[in-house]
Amino acid sequence: MENKLYVGNLSYQLSEDELKQAFTQAGNVLSARIITDSSTGRNKGFGFVEMESPEMAQKAIEILNGADLQGRAIKVAVATPMKPRENRNSAPRY
């Protein structure tokens, strides 16, 4: 199991410090990052938390998946690598 977790359904007002604090009940948090829109800077409602060990990551999933955080039931799962996206603005290449 990996140490990096995907966290979804976050409140748009949640800070990275608050996200990190919520995950400390499962163990030592190495990093907590909320993804923001590049043009508006607004929180996109999801982020990533890196725990110190795979065991702590598993504990975080067990404790926090579906838990209430600022009035929202958050989703916590092992993060998967981002899939390459097709460039929608360019014409097909032949």
Check which CATH number belongs to the domain holding 19 and give it. Answer: 3.30.70.330
User: Is 85 part of a structural domain of the chain?
Assistant: no
Domain membership flag for residue 87: no
Name the band, by pLDDT with cuts 50, 70 and 90, for residue 87: low
Q: Is residue 32 part of a domain?
A: yes
Kindly report, residue by residue over 15-31, the tens digit of the pLDDT.
999 999 999 999 999 99
Q: Quick one: pLDDT band at residue 81, thresholds 50, 70, 90?
A: confident
Q: Name the pLDDT band for 78 (thresholds 50, 70, 90).
A: very high
Whether 86 has a pLDDT exceeding 90, the answer reads no
DSSP, collapsed to helix, strand or coil, labels residue 84 as coil
Quote the CA–CA distance of 86 and 12 in Å, as a whole number: 28
Report yes or no on 86 lying in a domain: no
Question: Model-level pTM?
Answer: 0.85
The domain total for the chain is 1
| Tokens 């600022």, located at residue | 70
Owning domain of residue 38: 4-78
Q: Is residue 89 part of a domain?
A: no
